[in-house]
Amino acid sequence: MNKQNLYFAIFAIFGILIVHEFWQQSQTVEAVPYSRLETMLKEGQITELKIYDNYITGTLKDGVDGTKQVVVANRVDPRLAEQLGRYNIPFTQVYESKFFSTLLSWVVPALIFFGIWMLIFRKFAGKQGMGGGFMNIGKSKAKVYVEQQTGVSFEDVAGVDESKEELQEIVDFLKAPEEYGKLGARMPKGILLVGPPGTGKTLLARAVAGEAEVPFFSISGSEFVEMFVGVGAARVRDLFEQARKSAPAIIFIDELDALGRARTAAGFGGNDEREQTLNQLLVELDGFDPTVGVVLLAATNRPEVLDPALLRAGRFDRQVLVDRPDKTGRIAILQVHMKKVLLDDDVNAEQVADLTTGFSGADLANLVNEAALLATRRKADKVAMEDFTQAIERIVAGLEKKNRLLNPKERRIVAYHEVGHALTALALPGSDPVYKISIIPRGIGALGYTMQRPTEDRFLMTKEELEYKIAVLLGGRAAEKLIFNHLSTGAADDIARATDIARNMVTRYGMDDDIGFVVYEERQHPFLPQQQGPGPHGCNASDNTARRIDASVRRIIDDSFALSYRIVERNRGQLERCAQLLLEKETLLEGELVELTRDLHRVGDDVQRPETELSPT
């Protein structure tokens, strides 16, 4: 029963009671004083008397007093009447109606209790974020976001052309569902957008709705999971119902993993609610007929935790990969976002893309905004290339910390360390050019940094390239050892990364002669960066093999370190020269470095690779 019905019932009851009261009174044809009734009795005008609790009615003889037949008089206590009769004046008794006071004494307390009850529930419901209050638990009105027009088109999503191509079919279907029915083909019921965070999955889903010009029902997976068991399931039902009513439409469930996580046999703390919601989703997926023109899209960056039941054919039977953009993709994305800011002529999207390998679409959008903020701060009227390079540094290395001062000795160490990285990179064939080195401390941890510019996106790397990469990472420590003959904590991060690469070479890529082409490590997460970080990996080798793996890793690192040490040793003069200038200027750019290292001894020409002896373990 809803509120309106309740009010109606209350009014009806009141109405009936009031009408009844009036009807009773209207029965009284003519009210006379009691004294008059007595005289009428004496005069014999009355043929019949009826005595009620409070009043007396008398039927009059025919013809008397025109048409009136019945009189009524309120009863008066006979003893009192006898006394009063002597005075010969009209008298009557007045009864007050107790009807309303009786009614109120019942209704008012009931209303007060009802009010308190409502108040408590509303407060309670409000705290749980159920929006509509107690009366509409399970109605998802407040949570489903319906957009009649998303206003986003495929043009706004750049660099993911393959994903767009796959989704184009959905757009065509939504525009003309009949066409697709002709040959008996049916649309996939559910399409799952899979990819790392920030690559534009949500944006892409909205673009599909925008292109097809259909309403967009979106809800996040986590919003289904409620405190009360069953509420989430009701929401799922409600969502599909609403979408069906306005078909053709798109239902979009963002962050599906929050809801569709694999059901476990024994869960601690119970996942009843999520399970029920998931089951309801499966039921809806099975039950709905795609020919009505409702397409279900979902997005996740953790496809591997999803319940297998969700992924079987007939449910989310198509998966579209939305991956990190490559260089051309980055250029396209940058162009989309650069349109929104006032650009100086020197800004070159290609150059920016060169410096942002590995950035996702969201990172790039953020970068353009950061650059615009920097330009605003320096009161320029246009965003220049300089702003972009600064913004990249800011994002890559954390915020510049000008106020954190290193003491002169530390600065010297950092300078030699960074130049060590730069020189090894320059001396090794095929390494990415060094774009900038700096000894301005940034963020937490990094005291200086060397930025290399990848010449292209890499998908494959050879064993040699990986070894060179390790050598570059260890170049900082090699320079420190050569100049100061000490070991410092400044190389901790470099060493951790180098060890990671070396271990992967041995246990994943099969690049070590001693260990062979056997994988000893569990597969890593395809999209999310490893949560465990550097440290003990999930290694499934026997004790003996594990020991040999450790030895191999150690040998790769040692060999690479020997190589970088040779490089800095052979180029000591250049090292000193660069470090001096770096201490002066705090940053060195590519051009200056090239100028300073014209006479660099390179690996292969002047510097020999150290002999790699196979250790006899």
Residues designated as active site: 418
Q: Which residue is nearest to ligand ADP (CB)?
A: 361
- Tokens at 600, concatenated: 């660099």
Query: Contact residues for Zn ion (CB under 5 A)?
Result: 476, 494
Q: CB 315 → ligand ADP: shortest distance, Å?
A: 21
Write the CB contacts of 312 (distance below 8 Å, at least 6 apart in sequence).
Answer: none
Provide the H-helix boundaries in 263-407.
272-287, 308-311, 327-338, 349-354, 361-377, 385-397
DSSP 8-state secondary structure symbol assigned to residue 531: S
| Closest to 362 measured CA to CA, from 219, 163, 209, 196 | 196
Q: Cα–Cα distances in Å, from 386 out to 335, 361, 375, 409, 434?
A: 17, 21, 9, 31, 18
Q: CB 333 → ligand ADP: shortest distance, Å?
A: 4
Sign of the Cα torsion 192, 195, 201, 202 reads positive
Q: CB 506 → ligand ADP: shortest distance, Å?
A: 34
Provide the H-helix boundaries in 128-230.
161-175, 177-181, 201-212, 221-224
Q: Which does 199 bind (CB under 5 to 8 A by kind): Mg ion, Zn ion, ligand ADP, none?
A: ligand ADP
- Tokens at 476, concatenated: 């900082």
DSSP 8-state secondary structure symbol assigned to residue 31: B
The nearer residue to Mg ion, 356 or 360, going by C-beta atoms, is 360
Q: Which does 200 bind (CB under 5 to 8 A by kind): Mg ion, Zn ion, ligand ADP, none?
A: ligand ADP
What would the x/- binding string for Mg ion be over residues 473 to 492, using CB under 5 A?
--------------------
Query: Cα–Cα–Cα angle for 496, 500, 505, nearest 5°?
Result: 150
Q: CB 197 → ligand ADP: shortest distance, Å?
A: 5
Asked if 450 touches Mg ion (CB under 5 A), the answer is no
The nearer residue to Mg ion, 218 or 452, going by C-beta atoms, is 218
Q: CB 202 → Mg ion: shortest distance, Å?
A: 3
DSSP 8-state secondary structure symbol assigned to residue 139: -
Residues of span 164-223 touching Mg ion by CB under 5 A: 202
* CA distance linking residue 367 with residue 454, whole number of Å: 18
The nearer residue to ligand ADP, 299 or 428, going by C-beta atoms, is 299
Write the CB contacts of 461 (distance below 8 Å, at least 6 apart in sequence).
Answer: 469
The nearer residue to ligand ADP, 174 or 203, going by C-beta atoms, is 203
Q: What are phi and psi of 463, to 5 degrees?
A: -60, -45
The nearer residue to ligand ADP, 201 or 412, going by C-beta atoms, is 201
- Tokens at 525, concatenated: 């997460």
Query: Which residues are 451's β-sheet partners?
Result: 436
The nearer residue to Zn ion, 387 or 494, going by C-beta atoms, is 494
Burial 63-74 (b: 16+ CB within 10 A, else e): eeeeeeeebbbb
- Tokens at 453, concatenated: 């510019």
The nearer residue to Mg ion, 202 or 218, going by C-beta atoms, is 202
Distance of CA 504 to the CA centre of its chain: 33
Query: Contact residues for ligand ADP (CB under 6 A)?
Result: 157-160, 197-203, 299, 333, 336, 361-362, 365
Q: Cα–Cα distances in Å, from 294 out to 143, 234, 318, 551?
A: 19, 19, 15, 58
* CA distance linking residue 568 with residue 479, whole number of Å: 6
The nearer residue to Zn ion, 245 or 404, going by C-beta atoms, is 404
Distance of CA 369 to the CA centre of its chain: 21
Q: Which does 197 bind (CB under 5 to 8 A by kind): Mg ion, ligand ADP, Zn ion, none?
A: ligand ADP
Q: Which does 511 bind (CB under 5 to 8 A by kind): Mg ion, ligand ADP, Zn ion, none?
A: none
| Closest to 436 measured CA to CA, from 578, 290, 239 | 578
Q: CB 394 → Zn ion: shortest distance, Å?
A: 19
Distance of CA 21 to the CA centre of its chain: 63
Q: Which does 438 bind (CB under 5 to 8 A by kind): Mg ion, ligand ADP, Zn ion, none?
A: none
The nearer residue to ligand ADP, 202 or 431, going by C-beta atoms, is 202
Q: CB 453 → Mg ion: shortest distance, Å?
A: 30
Q: CB 396 → Zn ion: shortest distance, Å?
A: 14
Q: CB 229 → ligand ADP: shortest distance, Å?
A: 29
- In one letter, which amino acid is 388? F
Helix (H) or strand (E) holding 189: none
Distance of CA 380 to the CA centre of its chain: 35
Q: CB 392 → Zn ion: shortest distance, Å?
A: 19
Write the CB contacts of 178 (distance below 8 Å, at least 6 apart in sequence).
Answer: none
- In one letter, which amino acid is 603? V
The answer to whether 214 and 321 have CB atoms below 8 angstroms apart is: no
Write the CB contacts of 536 (distance below 8 Å, at least 6 apart in sequence).
Answer: none
The nearer residue to Mg ion, 202 or 560, going by C-beta atoms, is 202
Q: Got the DSSP string for 390-432? A: HHHHHHHH-SB-TT-PPPHHHHHHHHHHHHHHHHHHHHSTTPP
The answer to whether 371 and 335 have CB atoms below 8 angstroms apart is: no
The nearer residue to Zn ion, 217 or 416, going by C-beta atoms, is 416
| Conformational region of residue 184, where left means phi above 0, alpha means psi within -120 to 50, and beta covers everything else | left
Q: CB 371 → Mg ion: shortest distance, Å?
A: 23
Residues that bind Mg ion (CB under 5 A): 202
